[in-house]
Amino acid sequence: MYLEIVTPEASLVAGEVESITVPGVEGEFQMLNNHAPIVSVLQEGKVKFKGNPTIAEGFQKKFTKEADTWVLHIAGGTVECNNNRVMVLAD
């Protein structure tokens, strides 16, 4: 599936991933290929994804890597998943 993570500063991530986990207001949830369409509000927490998408130059320090999973801490935002495309608008 294709992942984009966008903040007010810049587009941080773009590319193919195997999975993404986000901190929804009702709890953490994961999206995989062919996930049902969804739009959700995100709370403060960690966005985690597996894969090797492009991380924008100058923003690599915002990410940590735990085993094979990339992690980005966010203050909140929204996520939309539709047709194997996930867009995270993060604060």
pLDDT at 73 (0 to 100): 97
pLDDT-derived band of residue 17, with 50, 70 and 90 as boundaries?
very high
Q: Using one digit for the tens of pLDDT, what is the confidence trace for 40-88?
A: 999 999 999 999 899 999 999 999 998 999 999 999 999 999 999 999 9
Cβ-based neighbours of 11, under 8 Å, separated by 6 or more: 4, 5, 56
pLDDT at 61 (0 to 100): 94
62: domain CATH number is: 2.60.15.10
Residue in 23, 16, 31 with CA at minimum distance from that of residue 47:
23
Residue in 8, 17, 23 with CA at minimum distance from that of residue 54:
17
In this structure, the number of other CB atoms found within 10 A of the CB of residue 43 comes to 15
DSSP β-bridge partners for residue 21: 30, 48
pLDDT at 29 (0 to 100): 97
- The pTM (predicted TM-score) of the whole model is 0.93
Domain count, the chain: 1
Task: Tell me what the mean pLDDT of segment 5-34 comes to.
Answer: 96
pLDDT-derived band of residue 28, with 50, 70 and 90 as boundaries?
very high
Please tell me the distance from the alpha carbon of residue 23 to that of residue 6, in angstroms, as a whole number: 16
Domain region containing 33: 2-90
